[in-house]
Amino acid sequence: MNITMTQWEGFRNLKPRRQEWTEGLHLLLGPNGSGKTNILEALHVMTGWGALRGERVPDLRDWRGSERGTFLTGRFTGEEDLEIHVGIGPRIVMKKGDRAIRASHLRPLVPSLIFLPGDLSMIEGSPSVRRRLLDRLCALLFPVYAQRLHEYGRALRQRNASLKYGKNMTATARVMAPLAEWIWACRLAAADLIGNGLAETGSLLPEGVSVALKRGSLGLEDLHDDFWESLKASEKEEKGSGVCAVGPHRDDLEIRCGERDVARCFSRGYRRRIAVALLLSSGRAVERKMRKKPVLLLDEVTAELDHEGRERLICALLETGWQVFATTAEACTPDWPGMTWNVCNGNVSGS
Ligand SMILES: Nc1ncnc2c1ncn2[C@@H]1O[C@H](COP(=O)(O)OP(=O)(O)OP(=O)(O)O)[C@@H](O)[C@H]1O
Ligand SMILES: [Mg+2]
């Protein structure tokens, strides 16, 4: 899919604007605090995702006030033509044409994948960064995934509370078990797809890198048995620590190079390249499974890459044929083979 037109009003620091976009690569260039990430966030929201920095919905509204309220419009073409209208008040309300649409239904219609500066630590950072990569892909591939993950999180909190108060634990385990099995099945499929797509990320990736889901469990083949057996095996640990030690909340995406752990055998710059390659690989999975080209939103993605790393990244992006929106605070070398837009004080202008 391609975003061909956007309109925003009253969104963060962005000045009201209607903007046409072409296919291909777009670079948003501007000083710190100019509004580059806010533009990516507007695209992120109009493709069915929420606020970027874990903030509440009302924080998206311009805090200086906006007479007409906060609205976003996005027009998309490609595998399907559609127009999305977003109203942001206490909650986000979305319409496809003139009919209301839920975020979980919108996301697969206009698949977008985002890379945030925090994702640069995908390789050496905590498992939660890698789980986020899996969860975002799963939320696109399996529309009820986000809902089930939310239900699992709620059941997990109940279990931890029951542990604290020494209550009967069987009831919470019964709620968690089917959700855990389902989430694991989705994540196993997503990890496989990401692994298969890595070969297509071009010269960005050093040879021999592979990924596999490491479940937060004993790892038995049957997912049902795995949950119950792992829970039984961790009973003592659970009682000692007061938190549930088994389940998808303990999963990790293991990234290896041969038998070695990539966090140990690659320099920072190379770890950055691998992190971007994992995102591109997720995009390949979207393309293959959903038969739609994703839109990539890349925030400060060239940070810490040398000239050659940037060259390879740009090559890899061009090869995808996807529409890409990337931000940078400094002019990019080598030359950017697409449109460059200057962002200044919430204004966007072509250069
Ligand atoms: N709700 C809001 N209303 C008005 N302004 C806001 C709101 N939220 C954030 N801002 C302002 O928007 C400005 C731009 O933020 P943004 O994160 O997009 O900058 P940026 O161009 O990505 O900068 P950097 O290069 O540092 O990442 C910030 O100065 C921030 O104070
Ligand atoms: Mg920014």
pLDDT digits (tens, 9 = 90+) for 159-189: 999 888 877 788 899 999 999 999 999 999 9
Q: Is 321 left (phi over 0), alpha (psi -120 to 50) or beta?
A: left
From the CA of 51, the nearest ligand is: 1
Cα–ligand 2 centroid distance for 307 (angstroms): 21
Give the closest ligand to the alpha carbon of residue 65. Answer: 1
37 close to ligand 1 (CB < 6 Angstrom): yes
- For residues 118-131, give the mean pLDDT: 91
* Extents of the domains making up the chain: 1-111+292-351, 125-288
Q: Identical fold at 1-111+292-351 and 125-288?
A: no
What is the 116 CA–ligand 2 centroid distance (Å)? 9
Ligand 2 centroid–CA 108 distance in Å is 26
Ligand at minimal distance from the CA of 330 is: 1
The average pLDDT across 301-305 equals 83
Query: Are 83 and 67 spatial neighbours (Cβ–Cβ below 8 Å)?
Result: no
Distance 73 CA to ligand 1 centre (A): 20
- Strand-pairing partners, residue 88, are 70, 92
Q: What is the pTM of this model?
A: 0.94
CA of 35 to the centre of ligand 2 (A): 7
Average pLDDT, rounded, for the chain: 92
Ligand 1 lined by 162 (C-beta under 6 Å): no
For ligand 1, say whether the CB of 35 is within 6 Å of any of its atoms: yes
Is the beta carbon of 34 within 6 A of some atom in ligand 1? yes
CA–CA separation, 96 and 325 (whole Å): 23
Q: What is the pLDDT of residue 287?
A: 95
The answer to whether 197 and 282 are in contact (CB under 8 A) is yes
CA of 315 to the centre of ligand 2 (A): 23
- Strands, E assignment, 89-163: 92-96, 99-100, 112-115
Contacts of 342 (CB under 8 A, 6+ apart): 29, 30, 348, 349, 350, 351
Residue 23 in this model has a pLDDT that exceeds 80: yes
List strand residue ranges (DSSP E) for the chain, in order.
Answer: 2-9, 17-20, 25-29, 70-77, 82-88, 92-96, 99-100, 112-115, 209-214, 252-257, 260-261, 295-298, 323-328, 339-344, 347-350
**pLDDT, position 332:** 67
Q: What digits encode the pLDDT tens for the residues 83-103?
A: 999 999 999 999 998 999 999
pLDDT at residue 333 in the model: 65
Q: Is the CB of 36 under 6 A from ligand 1?
A: yes
329 lines ligand 1 (CB under 6 A): yes
CA distance 297 to 299: 7
Residue nearest to atom 8 of ligand 1 (CA): 12
Q: Report the range of poorest mean pLDDT among 8-12, 36-40, 140-144, 329-333.
A: 329-333
Nearest ligand to the CA atom of 328? 1
Q: In this structure, which topology does domain 1-111+292-351 adopt according to CATH?
A: Rossmann fold (3.40.50)
**Is 80 exceeded by the pLDDT of residue 50?**
yes
pLDDT, position 84: 97
Please report the pLDDT score of residue 76 as a whole number: 97
Q: Please tell me the distance between residue 346's alpha carbon and the centre of ligand 1 in angstroms.
A: 8
For the chain, how many residues are written?
351
Contact 279, 307 (CB under 8 A): no
Residue among 331, 347, 351 nearest 18 (CA): 347
Domain at 125-288, CATH class: mainly alpha
pLDDT, greater one: 228 or 198: 228
| pLDDT, tens digit (0-9, with 9 covering 90-100), for 212-241 | 999 999 999 999 999 999 999 998 898 888
Which of the 8 DSSP states describes residue 332? -
Compute the average pLDDT of residues 280-294.
Answer: 95
Q: Which helix (H) or strand (E) holds 230?
A: helix 223-233
Residues near ion ligand 2 (Cβ under 5 Å): 37
